[in-house]
Amino acid sequence: SFLCPAWRCQRAHPQNIAPKMSPPGQDGRYEVVHDRIVLRTGPSTDEKIIQVFKRGDIVHGSPFQVNNLPWLRASDEFLEESKVTIPKDVQGCWMLIDGRSLGLGQLLKRLPPDRPPLTAAAAAPAVSKPAPPDESAAKQDPAEVARPTGVSGEYIVVNTKIVRRKTPAIDGAPLKVHNKGEIFCGVPHMCNNVPWLRVDKGAGWMMIDGESIGLGTLLSPATDIAEDILLWAEEHKKTEGGKSVVWTAQTEGELQQIAAKTHSQVEPLKFWCEHNAVLHRLEHAGFIGSDDFTLGADGVAMKILRFLLRCRAGVLVMAEDPPENPPWGEDDFQAFLRENVEPQAPFRCRVYMPEEQPQRLLVLLHGSMVQGDDLVAEAETLRKLMPETAVALPEAPYVADTTHGLRVWWSLPAVADAGESSSAPQSGSWEAPSKIRQRLAATLAWLTTRVRGVPLVLGGFSQGAMLVTQSLPTLADDVKPIGVLILSGLVSAFELPSGVKCLAIHGDRDERISLEMARGAAAADQMKKAGLDLQVIPELGHEISDGVLDRIVGFCDEVKPVERGVARREDDSWVQEANQAKLLRWVKRISQMITMFDDERFMTHLVVLDMAGLDSTFPTVGNGLVRYALHDAGPDKRGTVVLFHGKVADLQRDTKALVEAYKRLRLSVCVVDYRQKFSQFCVDATIVLEELEAVTGSSSSPVIIHACGCAAIHGIHMAMASQSYPAFLRRRLRLLVLDGGIGNFKSLPPMPTGCIAVDPIGNDKKLKYVGIPLCILGGDDACCGQVHKQTGHFSVLATSAEMLRQDNLLPSVVVSPGTALMTETGDARLNPELYQAATEALDQTRNIASKVTQSFVNDVLSSPDINEAIDPAKYKVNDLIEICKMVASVAQKKQSATHMWELRAMQEPQRGQELYKFILSCCEPAFKKHGGFEPGAQGFQQFEAVAASLSQGSLELAEVRAQLLEAFSLQRLDEQVLQLERDTHSSFGVKLSQCHEVLDNAIEEWNSDTLWAEAFAQVQANGGTPAVARDVFRGLNDTISLSHARRLGFKGTDTEVTQRMDGTFHLWMHCDPSLRAKGGTVQKKAMHFLQRLSDECSSQQAAQAV
């Protein structure tokens, strides 16, 4: 899970941020499909307007992706022909292609090269026309006059025929005539104001546009293979090579696989190609030329992508012979990257730059088996404590656990418990591979260049610290640090360069690397001579605490004193910064504790996992993590509603009515497409709060938070978290609307995630800290809405809010059991209570309640979380693994399996309650044997909290814990049943519940006194002997069986019906052991019935004999 806000990387003032721009796509003609579109001085809606074009106009230019939005850069020819007056110093003119991010829809539509315009207005000749030939240059050599106007690309013949000539002139010597559909590769040129294509490999020239000779367009850019490989292939099927290929139903799928694999292989180059060493390797291999260095990283990566796709798809589509060099095949190219490029490539980094030129650089490497953003919260805190320092976080290159995205620098040996420091390695190596050390050196070289060579402090945590110490001797002089930090990672003596200070920090409760091991390394003569300073922190485990961060700051100040800014000395500002740092670390801790709830089996109750969200044309915040759509209410807007959706299937469709209702109040609406992972809910809410100016389009307008369903977690957290931010931001938040909001964990149906230590939702308790007016609606959310009979959430929130209002902890509370919209009006109008609450909130200036802010800081941010309260350092990972295995073995016993199926058949809430009791009974023996947990429910809560914490650092514990949760999952059983019920051929269309009902009825029938009396009378009437009793019993048994079989819908003869029912019950009994046990009960009851009949007959015969 993403543990903390990495979105702040490389933050700077807006005027200092260069737009993130992709390489240009193929130029072409576009039709204006909106009422009007504006031409601007830059690719931003904030740039000045130069000219307006109307629907049907045809424009020409090259498409770009700028900050994730599609823009068209108008061509010079088009601007000249359209007589556009370009302001001085403007380098290019731009039009937005798609305006959905502004609520406008599509603005420009690309025209196919061989198709007419979409509208009659567009049927007129394009605005951009080639000028007539320049007669003054006619006597010059055409090849010398020609100048390139673009980059190399493929062009397709769209005229019936076209002549390839020796020179770019109409009277040039003809080389060959080519037909429509043929494709050529070359560079476009302009010669005497006529566009020509210089065909690759000196193969001559071809006229692109023949309008000057009355022929119209002759060549058009072919589809970019990197943009649409299927359309590219469709065009190339018409070539001579393409005609020789036999296309099958699998060809399209093969092409898509080629595209996906190639894109994934080239993706790392977008970062690596920023470094000259990598570019030289690519040049040496023949992928690029020296002239390509100027293309930039994205441009180089795009060129290689097109080359690889062309090679790989050309073999499949056009039966081409593959080139011998460079290594274009999937395996060969991957090997080339691994062996030649990766060792020269820096690690991916998150870089936090100060607002001004940094005075020093701190580089921190994370530990093993963590996500790449593991130290983001610590970096944010250090950034606030040292505002003059740039902080960089390299990311380990290898993913050891793809499920959870856990990374390692290299494979370490497996060791025993922390206290057994003498245990020998079992696998892996303590020594970092030379390639990894080389990449760290490349990373430091890149970082120091970026910060203009300021002094470097290099540090690492756990395995990251080991990599630092082993890399020091190989670092060049220009990247050697002035200080080294070893955080919970001192395992052996190392070579410390002369003059470099080193601080090692270790906890006496470290369960991963023992204190004895650290002390042994520090006691070596080599370390004593180098002046290593080992500081031991009491009660510290294998972690970075706030106290460790303070020591890091002190060490940085010691090795490189810096001038503090004024803001650092202002008490209010300092407190504000400290509170924000606490907030980020608190969010990280909470996120770590609840990753278990990211499971799809839990999330499916809260959201629609395959919801149609916002596509890539919409803007993002948080470094691309959260996407949003801003529906602008116009220049007279009164404020903005930040809308967090609930359980909806289509985000835009299902929020449209609410958006329109708010716009009636002149309120813009920002619809947030957050990540559908429970552990990221608070993270994403913090992102939105951090980027409030971006998502609302304003730095000062009022904001209403409207949170639906499970997103009440987002809304409440956003309001709570604002208590850690400056007053001007808090004043913007005017109202919190909980629309069918989730109340707490207990209000949900029991989930397959087991029991929990603390309520991961607890919204009813969190209301104490929101500090703004509150409106609670019953709502119609599919998960928690009052309309869907989910009354528990509304009740618990309303009750809690009313009590807080009476205690003056909430300014005002509006409660309505209805929905946000008035459904009876037939149009989009707000509920009267919501309308009034929103209007009053906008009209009133918010007073900042310092009492609420202080309570939030003291009660939430400054209090120990469940991990600290229980102290996981007291427990050994191996002990927890053993407990999980013991409990799982109990759950797998035959008797336990039968009981689980019995629980599955129960109804809520009894089903959840009985499951809880069963889990506790299975855990009790293991907890008692361990001796470190309280008895009963409290002990299980302790175990869950400790296991959740320590499993972050132990893959084996995480796996056995997941297996344990799976063993107690009733939903797993539900899925098995559903799968069999869908297989109507095997189950004959009979459901498991019907089988249970049949056996329950059979038990009831064999217990019936009425049936026994009737059977006994029949036995008496036929002689009253035990033999007669057995015959009567067999008849009754057959009658009951046939009756149930007919009731289940079986048809046919008695034999056929009986056989089908026997097959059905055999299938379901194999699946459900409780059904098998119930079948045994039926047999016992039937045998008892027969024995009773026989005994009664024997007794009467004996009496008659006497």
pLDDT > 80? residue 674:
yes
Tell me, what's the pLDDT at 20? 52
Higher pLDDT, 568 or 916: 916
Tell me, what's the pLDDT at 138? 46
Tell me, what's the pLDDT at 709? 92
Tell me the average pLDDT across 548-569: 78
What confidence tier does 833 reach under pLDDT thresholds 50, 70, 90? very high
pLDDT tens per residue, range 209-239: 888 888 888 998 888 888 888 888 888 777 7
Tell me, what's the pLDDT at 293? 79
Tokens 């619809």 appear where?
A: 671
Tell me, what's the pLDDT at 416? 34
Tell me the average pLDDT across 856-870: 52
Percent of the chain, pLDDT > 70?
82
Tell me, what's the pLDDT at 417? 35
Which of 973, 976, 949 has its CA nearest to residue 961? Answer: 949
Q: What are phi and psi of 370, to 5 degrees?
A: -135, 165
Q: How far apart are CA 518 and CA 507, in angstroms?
A: 10
What is the average pLDDT score of the chain? 81
Tell me the average pLDDT across 446-461: 90
pLDDT > 90? residue 775:
yes
pLDDT > 80? residue 1076:
yes
Q: How far apart are CA 708 and CA 651, in angstroms?
A: 12
pLDDT > 60? residue 125:
no
pLDDT > 50? residue 568:
no
Higher pLDDT, 1097 or 826: 1097
55: left (phi over 0), alpha (psi -120 to 50) or beta: beta
Structure tokens at 644: 């967090």
Q: How far apart are CA 481 and CA 459, in angstroms?
A: 9
Beta bridge partners of residue 705, listed in sequence order = 642, 736
pLDDT tens per residue, range 141-186: 777 778 888 777 889 898 889 999 999 998 889 999 998 888 888 8
pLDDT tens per residue, range 575-614: 666 666 667 666 766 666 666 677 776 788 889 988 999 9
Tell me, what's the pLDDT at 201? 79
Provide the CA 546 distance to its chain's centre, in angstroms: 28
Tell me, what's the pLDDT at 504? 96
Higher pLDDT, 367 or 1024: 367
Higher pLDDT, 365 or 374: 365
Tell me, what's the pLDDT at 140? 64
Tell me, what's the pLDDT at 695? 93
pLDDT > 50? residue 705:
yes
Which range is least confidently modeled, 46-60, 340-354, 474-488?
46-60
On whether the CB atoms of residues 140 and 191 are closer than 8 A, the answer is no
DSSP string, 163-175: EEESSSSTTSPEE
Tell me, what's the pLDDT at 827? 66
- In angstroms, the Cα distances linking 967 to 269, 911, 918, 922 are 44, 16, 12, 11
Strand order in the sheet with 28-32: 49-54, 36-40, 94-96, 69-74, 58-66, 28-32, 108-110
Tell me, what's the pLDDT at 908? 59
Which range is least confidently modeled, 253-267, 802-816, 868-882?
868-882
pLDDT > 60? residue 825:
no
Mode of pairing for the β-strands spanning 69-74 and 667-673: unpaired
Tell me, what's the pLDDT at 573? 57
Tell me, what's the pLDDT at 10? 34
Q: How far apart are CA 61 and CA 59, in angstroms?
A: 7
pLDDT > 70? residue 252:
yes
> Is residue 525 helix, strand or coil?
helix
Q: How far apart are CA 305 and CA 961, in angstroms?
A: 42
On whether the CB atoms of residues 301 and 264 are closer than 8 A, the answer is no
Tell me the average pLDDT across 880-898: 88
Which range is least confidently modeled, 413-417, 610-614, 756-760?
413-417
pLDDT tens per residue, range 178-213: 988 888 888 899 888 889 999 987 889 999 988 888
pLDDT > 70? residue 572:
no
Amino acid at 213: I
pLDDT > 90? residue 394:
yes
pLDDT tens per residue, range 706-734: 999 999 999 999 998 888 887 788 889 99
Tell me, what's the pLDDT at 68? 66
Tell me the average pLDDT across 646-663: 94
pLDDT > 80? residue 865:
no
Q: Which of 536-540, 574-578, 911-915 has the highest mean pLDDT?
A: 536-540
On whether the CB atoms of residues 301 and 266 are closer than 8 A, the answer is yes
Buried b (16+ CB within 10 A) or exposed e, 200-212: eeeebbbbbbbbb
Tell me, what's the pLDDT at 44? 81
Tell me the average pLDDT across 607-625: 88
CA atoms within 13 A on the CB side of 438: 11
